[in-house]
């Protein structure tokens, strides 16, 4: 949570930056001080303190303090154990699993429920209105986009995934109001994805951006009417391609899929049962 806010600091307005710096200087005190005291110490108004909490993805000050208290008092210690060339398979198992579990638990504490609510609402409305839901990603993020398309396809919505930059631009150009473009990027600096997100936004579609805080793509997700689902985790690029960030992105997709499925209601269940029945009938006996 604190790392994400630190990364987002340059994109905040000056007054909200003062609130962020007060937080980063003493997170425990911030979690316990009343809003009036926070405002006085930051030299800002009380509404500015609340706006800061919303700018970084929380419902308000109460929600922010609740997540902050969990992060600084009860959160899981960060574990990142870099693999070494002389590691044995047993060492690799422990390190890779520990890294993944720690990252997932950290994200559980940091995830902004308010942003997820907005994303799920936009996707649900697009599904009900037979609008388009498109997933864009490149490289590892392209794999996540394909996974998202597979999951949403089973919900009976009009969905599409693409990892080619030229096709992303053409596809985004054909979006309109009510459509959703879900942009997935670990770095948040892909020129193709930034171009596709900008085109989709200008065409009136809602862009839901899954990326690192403070990145250029994340800043686009903070524009009015758009949604940022920030995912932050350091990767050891010198040793292996990003792995934990991909797992976190897959979890985000699972949360979105589950939320949309629940909101689409009982009409969805018979179709899913029929899909399972038809798939079982295609299996051959051993």
**Three-state DSSP state, 232:** coil
What average pLDDT does the segment 76-102 reach?
75
Alpha-carbon distances, residue 161 vs 138, 149, 175, 207, 245 (angstroms): 11, 6, 14, 14, 19
**Sheet (strand 180-184) strand order:** 158-162, 132-136, 180-184, 206-211, 227-230
What percentage of the chain has pLDDT greater than the value 90?
A: 52
Of the ranges 29-33, 105-109, 212-216, which one carries the lowest mean pLDDT score? Answer: 105-109
- Residue 167: partners with Cβ closer than 8 Å, 6 or more residues away: none
Distances (CA, A) of 77 to 29, 74, 166, 167, 245: 19, 9, 42, 42, 18
Cβ-based burial of 112 (10 A; exposed 0-12, middle 13-18, buried ≥19): buried
Q: What is the pLDDT of residues 159-184, one digit of tens each?
A: 999 999 999 999 999 999 999 999 99
> 120 pLDDT band (50/70/90 cuts)?
very high
More confident residue, 142 or 8: 142
């Amino acid at each position: 949570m604190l790392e994400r806010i630190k990364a987002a600091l340059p994109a905040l307005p000056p007054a909200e930056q003062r609130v962020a710096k007060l937080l980063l200087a003493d997170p425990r005190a911030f979690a316990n001080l009343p809003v009036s005291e926070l405002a006085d110490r930051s030299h800002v108004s009380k509404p500015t303190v609340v706006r800061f909490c919303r700018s970084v993805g929380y419902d308000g000050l109460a929600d922010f303090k609740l997540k902050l208290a969990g992060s600084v008092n009860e959160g899981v210690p960060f574990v990142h154990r870099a693999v070494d060339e002389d590691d044995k398979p047993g060492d690799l198992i422990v390190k890779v699993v520990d890294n993944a579990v720690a990252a997932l638990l950290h994200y559980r504490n940091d995830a902004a429920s308010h942003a997820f609510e907005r994303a799920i609402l936009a996707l649900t409305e697009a599904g009900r209105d037979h609008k388009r839901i498109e997933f864009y990603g490149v490289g590892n993020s392209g794999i996540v986009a394909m996974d998202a398309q597979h999951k949403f396809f089973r919900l009976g919505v009009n969905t599409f995934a693409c990892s080619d930059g030229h096709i992303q631009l053409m596809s985004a150009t054909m979006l309109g109001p009510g459509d959703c473009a879900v942009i997935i990027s670990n770095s948040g600096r892909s020129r193709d994805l930034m171009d596709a997100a900008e085109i989709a936004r200008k065409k009136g579609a809602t862009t839901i951006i899954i990326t690192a805080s403070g990145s250029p793509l994340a800043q686009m997700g903070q524009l009015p009417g758009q949604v940022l689902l920030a995912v932050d985790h350091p990767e050891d690029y010198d040793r292996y391609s990003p792995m934990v960030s991909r797992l976190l992105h897959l979890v985000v997709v699972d949360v979105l899929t589950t939320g949309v499925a629940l909101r689409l209601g009982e009409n969805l269940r018979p179709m899913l049962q029929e899909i399972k029945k038809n798939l079982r009938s295609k299996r051959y006996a051993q």
